[in-house]
Each structure stands twice: as C-alpha cells, then as structure tokens.
C-alpha cells in the first residue's frame, strides 16, 4: 500500500552506542544514564526531572542527581538506600524509575510507577515518592534483557514535538543480540469520547520486543480508565482466520507489488473497560519477511524504518544495527 501520512512531527535521538565497560552492571547503568540524558535533551517539550535520589541525597525538588553512573545505585529491597528519578512528561503525567531490585549487583531490575495526574509527593534515599493515583507497571521487573555479562548497547528515542509521545528502544549486542527493550509513553489517537484525557504507558523487556504477538496476544499497554483506575489493552489490527493481516500476507500485494502496512488500535477485555478504545499514532505492523533496518520508500529518503514486525517514522539516516 502507499506509505502512510504521519500524524505527528517527530524528534529523534537515535543510533546511539554505549560501549562495553567490562562490567555488566555498569553497562546497564550507563544505558539508563544515557536514556535519561537523551529524554531531557529534546528541543521541543523535553522530559524534565521533578526530583531524584542518588542514594546519598534525595528530594522532590526538581534536581537531577544522576550525573554519572556512580549516582545510579540499585538497592536490594524497599527501605534500602537507592537511586530513583521522577520525570515529568507532557503527554502522560509523571513517570518514576525506582531502582529497587532483588539482585542489585546485576542492575537488571527496577520498579516503574506512573501517576497520570502528576500527583507524586515525598521521597527519601530509602523510600520512593508515592501518588494517590499511582499504578506500578514494573514491580522490581526486568527493565532490559536478563544478561549479566558486559556488552555493547544501542539506544534510540522518538519524541513528538508536542511532547505527547515518547518511544524508547534498546538493542543489545551481547550473546543474545537483538532488540531487548521497548517502552512507550503516549496519548492515543482518536479515542472514544468516554475516555477523557486518555494516556497510556508500556515497558517490555525480553526478546522479540516488537514482534506481532508480543503486543496482540498480551495486554501490555496500560491506560488510565475513566473515571478512575487503569485498564490493560491489546494492540489490534485488521486480520482474518485467527491471524493479523501482516502475518497472513507475508508477500507484497499481487496487484500493487507493495507490502501491506496495517494501522493499529487499542482494545481491552477487562470487565468495566471492555471495547475498542482508540487508535495508535504513527505505529504500524508489517510482514516479518522484511528485515530489521529496512527503510521506506526505496529512494534512500528513509522516511520509515522496519523494526521486527513494526514500522515507525524515521529521520533519513541509516538505521544502525551493530
């Protein structure tokens, strides 16, 4: 099909490399530090820091205390001194990274907490800020893949100029090479009228993070549910015979000789929130017969890039994979 028109104007901070240091935990800390700095660096509506802890000093005072990886300290349980950082994001509210982990030496786990209403208060070196409307998305969960050895990482950020959309992608170049983290903090497209002030978040760390069934078979996108609470949603798209269209049609359209590009939507099956609630901005499914890093159109303008089974907007550069 013809290439889609973009709904958003995007800013990019992509093809960035964190080299191997010889320490797996230091590598992970360096990735978190680089992503944090990248989110703050966008020209239009960047993320800002509402407060932070480096395990020695803490405060909900607008100060970013994460200057080097030595400020990024994982703690082995609640009540233990550790680092955390609270972000403001224009589109979805406040996002907290709390570095509490069952295995702090590995730097693999953290708690990700979201306040749609930006209501966080408090916070010390041994206790994270809390919010009356908070939802815990990761609870000492793996934020990147589970490899503990040292290896290089690549990281990529997308952020819309209106500040409503942020996407984070990490690629690991270790013994398990591939994309190992995808996160999104977004307002949805064309929501139903009853979903007032709609906001969504997701964070998935594993392998095949942008595969089709990763998002269509598990409800990985969490949204604020009116009038209160949250709902967990599936990504949906056109399909037939129990499969999505991009899987059913692995080859170009016989009549147009173009690969099909499938727009995406969000739907929920939970009692009290059942239904199809919105679409997604500038995110599509394509056939897995396309290769990671393939770009569209074929004139080297590189306006879109293929990542696993997804198609995203791109900035015209060569997509770096290794």
Tens digits of per-residue pLDDT, 212-240? 999 999 999 999 999 999 999 999 999 99
Query: What is the pLDDT at residue 1?
Result: 60
Query: What is the pLDDT at residue 7?
Result: 98
Q: Is residue 196 part of a domain?
A: yes
Chain centroid, CA 94 distance in Å: 14
| Rounded Cα gap, residues 121 and 229, in angstroms | 19
Q: Within a 10 A sphere around the Cβ of 270, how many other Cβ atoms?
A: 14
Q: Is residue 119 part of a domain?
A: yes
Query: What is the pLDDT at residue 145?
Result: 80
H or E stretch at 139: strand 135-142
Query: What is the pLDDT at residue 21?
Result: 95
Q: Is residue 321 part of a domain?
A: no
Residues 6+ positions from 11 with CB-CB distance below 8 Å: 42, 43, 44, 158, 159, 160, 161
Query: What is the pLDDT at residue 177?
Result: 79
Q: Is residue 52 part of a domain?
A: yes
- Which residues span the domain enclosing 292? 10-313
The backbone torsions φ and ψ at residue 9, rounded to the nearest 5 degrees and listed phi first, read: -100, 125
Q: Is residue 1 part of a domain?
A: no
Q: Is residue 249 part of a domain?
A: yes
- Specify whether the CB–CB gap between 83 and 73 falls below 8 A: yes
- Domain tally, the chain: 1
Blockwise average pLDDT, block size 10, the chain, 322 residues: 92 97 95 98 98 98 98 93 97 97 92 97 98 97 88 97 98 86 98 96 95 96 95 96 90 90 97 97 95 94 97 98 94
H or E stretch at 33: helix 24-40
Query: What is the pLDDT at residue 231?
Result: 97
- Specify whether the CB–CB gap between 81 and 51 falls below 8 A: no
Q: Is residue 98 part of a domain?
A: yes
Q: In what order do the strands lie in the sheet containing 135-142?
A: 58-59, 48-54, 83-89, 93-98, 109-115, 135-142
Q: 3-class SS at 49?
A: strand
Query: What is the pLDDT at residue 77?
Result: 85
Tens digits of per-residue pLDDT, 140-196? 999 998 788 899 999 999 999 999 999 999 999 977 779 999 999 999 999 999 999
Residue listed under structure tokens 């815990």? 136
Q: Is residue 4 part of a domain?
A: no
The backbone torsions φ and ψ at residue 200, rounded to the nearest 5 degrees and listed phi first, read: -140, 155
């Amino acid at each position: 099909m013809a290439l889609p028109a973009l709904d958003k104007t995007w800013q990019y901070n992509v093809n960035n490399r964190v080299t191997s240091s010889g320490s797996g935990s230091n590598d992970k800390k360096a990735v978190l530090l680089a992503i944090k700095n990248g989110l703050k660096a966008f020209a239009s509506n960047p993320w800002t820091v509402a407060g932070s802890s480096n395990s020695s000093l803490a405060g909900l005072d607008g100060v970013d205390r994460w200057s080097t990886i030595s400020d990024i300290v994982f703690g082995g349980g609640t009540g233990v001194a550790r680092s955390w950082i609270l972000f403001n994001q224009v589109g979805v509210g406040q996002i907290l990274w709390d570095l509490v982990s069952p295995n702090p030496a590995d730097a693999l786990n953290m708690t990700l907490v979201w306040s749609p209403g930006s209501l966080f208060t408090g916070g010390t070196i041994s206790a994270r800020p809390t919010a009356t409307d908070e939802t815990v998305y990761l609870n000492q969960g793996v934020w990147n893949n589970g490899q503990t050895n040292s290896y290089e990482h690549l990281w990529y950020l997308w952020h819309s100029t209106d500040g409503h959309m942020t996407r984070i992608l990490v690629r690991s170049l270790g013994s398990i090479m591939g994309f190992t983290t995808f996160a999104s903090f977004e307002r949805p497209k064309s929501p139903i009228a009853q979903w007032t002030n709609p906001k969504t978040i997701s964070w998935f760390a594993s392998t095949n993070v942008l595969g089709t069934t990763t998002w269509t078979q598990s409800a990985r996108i969490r949204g604020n549910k009116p009038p209160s609470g949250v709902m967990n949603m599936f990504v949906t798209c056109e399909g037939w015979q129990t499969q999505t269209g991009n899987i059913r049609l692995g080859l170009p359209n016989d009549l147009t000789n173009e690969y099909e590009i499938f727009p995406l939507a969000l739907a929920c099956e939970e009692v009290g929130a059942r239904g199809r609630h919105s679409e997604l901005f500038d995110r599509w499914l394509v056939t897995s017969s396309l290769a990671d890093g393939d770009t569209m159109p074929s004139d080297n303008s590189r306006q879109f890039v293929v990542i696993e089974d997804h198609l995203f907007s791109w900035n015209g550069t060569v997509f770096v994979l290794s």
